[in-house]
């Protein structure tokens, strides 16, 4: 025993020592590299998402301005005479609705004459708009809308907003004067603050920043624009203009940086994010956190190793316990795992043999129960009084004596079919169409016997014909309707049978217009206090049918009765909707 204890302690010591040393060296190095790589990838991904978001904001801003330009052109200029007051009114209205972002709106002829300007009143002296870049670009490419670089507003002579920074949007338009049309230029001065607002507070981590350039590298926005204009700060904007969308590594003035670029549709402008390389590397705080994480990880690994060693000893017992638990739940086919030490193996073999003996005993009990259940079912189903047969044969003899041979043939044929289906080769489960054929033959015979004292109808959904039904469940209910529901009523009786399916359930209803029953009489039918055997009928009553259904299909199924005195009675049979082919031959004969 001592050797075994020493051996276990030695094994644990060896696993712990060797694994801890190897894991400490390997995990420390590999996790540091992996963590550093993950931090870099995460920062780059976050920066890319941020730049894309800013680019979408700028693009949305430009689209809004271009929609305003379209509204000015197509809503105010294109279809209006420039000599009318309607142009001024429309331009003024659009300006008032957008003056938070728009400084000036002006309309010029091809020769440079100002048609209208809001809110500006006139041009500054000496200004020739035909020589301005925005004017020339608009007439050179008439199908486009053109955005200028940021600049101080200098062409309008107004006291307010005299020296505000703006970005000009210009486009060629068609002017109508009388019956003639000429080209003109529409100018919209956008407040630079609107563009600045999109970049306020946007940074790519510590010491990172975002700026905006044109397609040729001209800086349109920079958080340190004044320092760049004064020459005290330089930027790699020309290099950034050559970069494709995505992330790029560059060295600028001896500093390693990550450049994230996203182009803006239509204008070709580019949003550029700058992230210093040291931001995406592990700093001292993160390094300390990494060491804490590493120590925790090593301790976790050692705990896992300890768990592994103990599990090697306890696993066979746990597996045996699971098997015993499943056996306790009644799953006697559960395989019993036999492993571990000799004692555990011996215990596993004993439990396995015990389970085998229990299965044998259970099989015997099940066989005995099934035999008893079949006897009870057959006893219930065999309660057929010969009185119906005697009366039917009497009526056939009477028909023959009165030379009603055709009617006698119909009665004999119906009686033969009635008993053929009653026998059904010993089967208790038959097709719905056979059960309906059985009750149809019964109704035909009774219709002859009672000399058309009642009428009957059978309605069935076609999809129900191939479903399964318990044998002899409709005929006793129809028999009750004839002998008890309509025996003492005045006038002609009526019996209606309906068969239909609702999802996974099959329903039969037997309705009559007879005398009806009270609630107490309905309850007595299920308890058998009203007498389950009729002197005139087959002897198979409501209680019998209900018990047979529940015995075969379960407590969820059976009969329900709806009846009021002098209002008639409706009995509903509830069965599961089962295809006949899915029922085994053994089940059919139970």
Task: Tell me the pLDDT tens digit for each residue of 64-82.
Answer: 888 988 888 888 888 788 7
Contacts of 451 (CB under 8 A, 6+ apart): none
pLDDT band at 379 (very low <50, low <70, confident <90, very high): low
Do the domain assignments include residue 178?
yes
- In this structure, the answer to whether residues 460 and 500 fall within a common structural domain is yes
pLDDT band at 472 (very low <50, low <70, confident <90, very high): confident
- In this structure, the answer to whether residues 448 and 583 fall within a common structural domain is yes
- In this structure, the answer to whether residues 55 and 129 fall within a common structural domain is no
Alpha helix ranges (H) inside 164-280:
192-199, 225-230, 237-240
**What is the SS3 assignment for 381?**
helix
Is the Cβ–Cβ distance between 541 and 532 less than 8 Å?
yes
- In this structure, the answer to whether residues 581 and 499 fall within a common structural domain is yes
Domain edge (last residue) among 177, 195, 213: 195
- In this structure, the answer to whether residues 245 and 183 fall within a common structural domain is no
Do the domain assignments include residue 350?
no
Domain edge (last residue) among 195, 213, 243: 195
Is the Cβ–Cβ distance between 501 and 509 less than 8 Å?
no
**119: domain range?**
78-195
Name residue 560's beta-bridge partners.
572
Token digits for 555?
Answer: 């407590």
Do the domain assignments include residue 322?
no
Query: What confidence score (pLDDT) does residue 475 get?
Result: 84
Cβ neighbours of 365 (radius 10 Å) = 10
DSSP codes of every residue in 382-414: T---THHHHHHHHHHHHHHHTT-HHHHHHHHHH
- In this structure, the answer to whether residues 452 and 489 fall within a common structural domain is yes
Do the domain assignments include residue 553?
yes
| 265-274, 309-318, 509-518: least confidently modelled range | 309-318
Query: CA–CA separation, 377 vs 473, rounded Å?
Result: 13
- In this structure, the answer to whether residues 26 and 87 fall within a common structural domain is no
Do the domain assignments include residue 499?
yes
CATH of the domain at 122: 3.30.450.20
Do the domain assignments include residue 545?
yes
Question: How many structural domains comprise the chain?
Answer: 3
**Averaged pLDDT, 144-162:** 78
Q: Is the pLDDT of residue 202 over 80?
A: yes
pLDDT band at 501 (very low <50, low <70, confident <90, very high): very high
| HEC-encoded secondary structure of 440-476 | HHHHHHHHHHCCCCEEEEEEECHHHCCEEEECCCHHH
Query: What confidence score (pLDDT) does residue 207 get?
Result: 79
Residue among 275, 367, 316 at smallest CA distance from 40: 275
Residues 381-406 have pLDDT tens digits of: 555 445 556 666 777 787 787 777 78
- In this structure, the answer to whether residues 266 and 165 fall within a common structural domain is no
- In this structure, the answer to whether residues 89 and 137 fall within a common structural domain is yes
Cβ neighbours of 391 (radius 10 Å) = 15
CATH of the domain at 533: 3.30.565.10
Q: Rounded to whole angstroms, what are the CA distances from 322 to 309, 327, 334, 484, 572?
A: 20, 9, 10, 61, 47
Do the domain assignments include residue 484?
yes
Q: Is the pTM value of this prediction over 0.75?
A: no
pLDDT band at 369 (very low <50, low <70, confident <90, very high): low
Residues 400-456 have pLDDT tens digits of: 877 777 877 877 887 777 776 666 555 778 899 988 988 888 888 888 877 778 889
Residue among 495, 473, 489, 590 at smallest CA distance from 541: 473
- In this structure, the answer to whether residues 191 and 212 fall within a common structural domain is no
- In this structure, the answer to whether residues 419 and 496 fall within a common structural domain is yes
**Averaged pLDDT, 484-510:** 86
Query: CA–CA separation, 307 vs 274, rounded Å?
Result: 49
Alpha helix ranges (H) inside 108-236:
133-140, 192-199, 225-230
Residue among 138, 149, 203 at smallest CA distance from 174: 138
Do the domain assignments include residue 308?
no
Query: CA–CA separation, 559 vs 339, rounded Å?
Result: 55
Domain edge (last residue) among 163, 195, 227: 195
- In this structure, the answer to whether residues 160 and 142 fall within a common structural domain is yes
Is the Cβ–Cβ distance between 301 and 27 less than 8 Å?
yes
Name residue 508's beta-bridge partners.
499, 573
């Amino acid at each position: 025993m001592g050797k075994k204890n020493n051996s276990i302690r030695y094994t644990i010591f060896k696993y712990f020592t060797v694994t801890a040393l190897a894991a400490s060296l390997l995990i420390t190095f590999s996790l540091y590299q992996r963590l550093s790589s993950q931090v870099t990838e995460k920062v780059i991904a976050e920066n890319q998402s941020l730049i894309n978001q800013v680019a979408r904001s700028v693009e949305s801003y430009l689209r809004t301005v271009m929609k305003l330009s379209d509204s000015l052109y197509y809503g105010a200029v294109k279809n209006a005479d420039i000599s009318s007051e309607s142009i001024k009114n429309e331009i003024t209205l659009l300006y008032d609705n957008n003056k938070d972002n728009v400084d000036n709106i002006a309309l010029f002829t091809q020769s440079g004459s100002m048609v209208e300007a809001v809110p500006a009143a006139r041009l500054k002296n000496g200004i020739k708009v035909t020589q301005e870049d925005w004017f020339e670009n608009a007439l050179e490419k008439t199908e486009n809308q053109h955005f200028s670089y940021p600049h101080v507003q200098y062409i309008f002579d107004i006291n307010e907003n005299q020296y505000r920074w703006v970005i000009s949007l210009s486009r060629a338009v068609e002017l109508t004067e009388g019956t003639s049309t000429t080209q003109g230029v529409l100018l919209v001065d956008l407040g630079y603050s609107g563009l600045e607002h999109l970049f306020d507070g946007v940074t790519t981590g510590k010491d990172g920043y975002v700026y905006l350039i044109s397609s040729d590298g001209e800086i349109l926005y920079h958080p340190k624009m004044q320092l760049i204009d004064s020459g005290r700060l330089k930027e790699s904007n020309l290099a950034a203009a050559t970069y494709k969308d995505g992330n790029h590594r560059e060295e600028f003035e001896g500093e390693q940086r990550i450049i994230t670029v996203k182009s803006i549709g239509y204008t070709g402008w580019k949003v550029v994010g700058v992230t210093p390389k040291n931001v995406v590397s592990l700093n001292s705080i993160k390094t300390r956190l990494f060491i804490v994480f590493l120590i925790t990880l090593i301790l976790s690994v050692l705990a896992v190793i300890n768990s592994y060693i103990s599990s090697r000893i306890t696993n066979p017992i746990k597996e045996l316990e699971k098997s015993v638990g499943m056996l306790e739940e009644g799953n006697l086919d559960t395989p019993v795992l036999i492993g571990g030490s000799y004692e555990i193996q011996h215990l596993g073999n004993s439990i396995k043999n015990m389970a085998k003996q229990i299965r044998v005993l259970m099989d015997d009990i099940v066989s005995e129960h099934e035999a008893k259940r079949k006897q009870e079912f057959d006893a219930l189903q065999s309660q057929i009084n010969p009185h119906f047969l005697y009366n039917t044969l009497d009526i056939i003899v009477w028909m023959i004596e009165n030379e009603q041979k055709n009617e006698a043939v119909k009665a004999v044929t119906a009686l033969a079919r009635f008993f053929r289906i009653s026998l059904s080769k010993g089967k208790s489960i038959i097709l719905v169409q056979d059960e309906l054929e059985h009750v149809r033959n019964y109704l035909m015979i009774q219709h002859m016997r009672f000399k058309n004292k009642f009428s009957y109808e059978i309605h069935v959904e076609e999809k129900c014909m191939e479903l399964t039904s318990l044998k002899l469940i409709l005929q006793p209910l129809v028999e009750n309707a004839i002998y008890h529901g309509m025996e003492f009523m005045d006038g002609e009786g009526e019996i209606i049978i309906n068969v239909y399916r609702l999802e996974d359930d099959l329903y039969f209803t037997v309705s009559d217009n007879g005398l009806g029953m009270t609630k107490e009489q309905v309850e007595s039918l299920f308890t058998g206090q009203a007498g389950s055997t009729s002197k005139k009928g087959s002897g198979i009553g409501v209680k019998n049918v209900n018990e047979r259904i529940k015995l075969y299909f379960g407590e969820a199924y059976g009969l329900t009765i709806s009846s009021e005195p002098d209002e008639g009675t409706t009995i509903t049979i509830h069965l599961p909707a089962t295809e006949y082919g899915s029922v085994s031959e053994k089940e059919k004969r139970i």
